[in-house]
Structure 1
Amino acid sequence: MTGQRGRLPEGPALLEVRHGVRRWLAAHGPADAVAVALSGGADSLALTAAAVAEVGEVHALVVDHRLQDGSGDVAERAANRARTLGCASARVLEVEVTGPGGVEAAARAARYGALRGARADRPVLLGHTLDDQAETVLLGLSRGSGPRSIAGMRDWDDPWARPLLAVRRGVTEQACGELGMQPWIDPHNADPVFTRVRLRTEALPLLEQILGGGVARALARTATHLQEDGEFLDAAATDLRRAATVGDELDTDVLGAAHPAVRRRAVREWLQVTGVGGLTDVQLRAADDLVGRWRGQGGVALGGGRDGVRLVLTRRHGRLSVGYVTSEPAGR
């Protein structure tokens, strides 16, 4: 097939993928130029073709994780396909997969870092589908850390765009067939050592069987509802944080008048603004207890300590403050 825009097949699957891109552009665009993260798999290949048809200028970014023999050849084939489809450019980005959290987490960090560095201020289209969203919600449920963890992926999280969150994985596979292209199948996607693979191949099919189908779509809808609720609560929390902020501290009287769901978000946001990240649910609830269940207790260790010194949130004279201390001071 040629790679010129407007000359793609008009099959129903590819049209559905194009409609996903079109809806995203209508909601978050317009965009004269985008980058697309292309692995060569069905999802990203169909997305690349659809983006070429819907956006003026598409630049393909192919990340080579170098975790498998022949990965460089796979990456070059994906880049060549991007050029065939009509992309304005196609680059292979080689990365080193190192760091904490296992191979999955390290590969993800390396991939996103490379994409961020090469995007040239363009939004980066990612090929996450409705099925990926359902798996993400299940993973969030397993963490048990509240609605934020099961709200799934957003269709726009600057600079990351996910136009296919309403499109099933089977549709992207069909779209590749309509394009006359055989997508690359990553062997890691069939390796049960990875939790997400077992969710995809074992847990979700079993749930679909037990509950009579529609589970993936229901999980994706749940994510959408929680995102909408979360946006409202986050906006209320921002207002509360601003109202309660006194210099570098928070006024506990102002916080105490708010609902705990909003108050916890406000405290989290304030801590993040202060530079404290990676909060656990236990830490956040203990921090909230300094307001909602105040009994004169000591401070809350937040992590980030160094050389025997801990970063601690304390309450003093009706104010919350953060500082490095060698021991927890008594609250009063």
Structure 2
Amino acid sequence: MDRSSSGVTPGESGPVAGQVRLPETTSVLVLRQAVRAWLALYRPAGAVAVALSGGADSLALTAAAVVEADGVDALIIDHGLQRGSAAVAAEAADAARRLGCRSARVRRVEVDGPGGPEAAARHARYRALDDLRDGMPVLFGHTLDDQAETVLLGLGRGSGQRSLRGMAAFDDPWGRPLLGVRREITRQLCRDLGLRPHEDPHNSAPEFTRVRLRTEVLPLLEEVLGGGVASALARTAAQLRDDGEILDSIADRLLSEARDGSSLSVEILATAPGAIRRRVLRAWLIEGGAKAVTDKHLRAVDTLITDWRGQGGVAVGGGMPGTRLVARREHGRLTLAFAR
């Protein structure tokens, strides 16, 4: 790919905001507007980083960000999970420089840990991006379609409102400007610019749940319900996020009122609505070292407040091997400590 084939025209002074020009196609205008709106809300001045995989979504985001932001650094993570991954990362870095990024950095990571290869790769990727970002927010190319898949996955797993809220537009330092943009628009932008995105074979592998949602479940829902399902799911996520933020702010105030050192006052929590109280418990458990707090954990701890019969403590996720993190009720307070 070169400038003439991509349709991208560099400014004479180098890749800074306003000096890279893109053709005024519909896809370009949609992407630029989405990035501009995000920057106005969350990053009105200063450079940003873009997590660039080489796929259509992140390439389209990079192209738009270079025009709209004060400066863009491309961060490319090579997971090393596929043959030729180093070459894919190098091609993505080259594309970033051609699009006008002021730098393109590649980091090779080791993928291991619990939760299967998808979860391990995600953890490794985010750790590397956090290390590379130099204090800048990192933008991801997640689209409206990704948001719909996330909401549908959470709905199927019964994981509650927090999961149905989907991905946030900004969860410092992670930004997602394209949550209102359809995936087809990012692909069209790549075609308009003559970009050839990398097609990750994992994105079409049916052994992955999200792939089957994308290729089988959502198309069937669109057909049965007459279209608009992805947009409706994304709207649901936005509505639940607005509601959830209000509930979280109320819970934050209640948590402050209920604090008694590192423990919580049962008396103060007992009169609170259950939805607020369980938010308080979730924040308190995570603060105390709990991992992957589930609805089952929350409701079990909640019974120490609402259905106290002298029962013992509740083990929650967390702790080193051979230890458990246990919530107990003692003398009118909830305590949290490690136990063997």
TM-score when normalising by structure 1: 0.95
Q: Counterpart of 2:75 in 1: which secondary structure? A: strand
Q: Note the C-alpha offset of 1:49.
A: 0.4
Amino acid at match of 1:170: E
Change in Cα spacing, 1:63 to 1:17, as seen in structure 2 (3 Å) is same
Structure 1 segments unaligned to the other structure (5+ residues) = 327-332
Whether 1:28 aligns to 2:36 is no
Whether 1:160 aligns to 2:174 is yes
Which position in structure 2 is the counterpart of 1:100? Answer: 114
Which position in structure 2 is the counterpart of 1:242? Answer: 256
Which position in structure 2 is the counterpart of 1:68? Answer: 82
Change in Cα spacing, 1:306 to 1:154, as seen in structure 2 (3 Å) is closer
Whether 1:317 aligns to 2:331 is yes
Q: Name the % identity.
A: 60
Q: Counterpart of 1:240 in 2: which secondary structure? A: helix
Amino acid at match of 2:258: A
Q: Note the C-alpha offset of 1:124.
A: 0.4
Query: Aligned partners of 2:255 and 2:321: how far apart in 1?
Result: 31
Q: Note the C-alpha offset of 1:156.
A: 0.2
Which position in structure 2 is the counterpart of 1:82? Answer: 96
Query: Aligned partners of 1:285 and 1:121: how far apart in 2?
Result: 38
Which position in structure 2 is the counterpart of 1:282? Answer: 296
8 Å contact kept, 1:129–1:164: yes
Of 216, 220, 240, which residue of structure 2 is paired with 1:226? 240
Of 205, 208, 212, which residue of structure 2 is paired with 1:191? 205
Change in Cα spacing, 1:83 to 1:308, as seen in structure 2 (3 Å) is closer
Of 263, 268, 272, which residue of structure 1 is paired with 2:277? 263
Amino acid at match of 1:312: V
Amino acid at match of 1:75: A
191-200 or 286-295, which deviates more: 286-295
Amino acid at match of 1:139: L
Query: Aligned partners of 2:238 and 2:106: how far apart in 1?
Result: 33
Query: Aligned partners of 1:59 and 1:324: how far apart in 2?
Result: 43
Q: Which runs of 4+ in 1 moved over 4 A?
A: 305-309
Q: Counterpart of 2:328 in 1: which secondary structure? A: strand
8 Å contact kept, 2:20–2:100: no
Which position in structure 2 is the counterpart of 1:329? Answer: none
Q: Note the C-alpha offset of 1:210.
A: 0.6
266-275 or 185-194, which deviates more: 266-275
8 Å contact kept, 1:3–1:83: no
TM-score when normalising by structure 2: 0.93
Whether 1:299 aligns to 2:316 is no
Structure 2 segments unaligned to the other structure (5+ residues) = 4-8, 12-18
Which position in structure 1 is the counterpart of 2:148? Answer: 134
Amino acid at match of 1:215: V
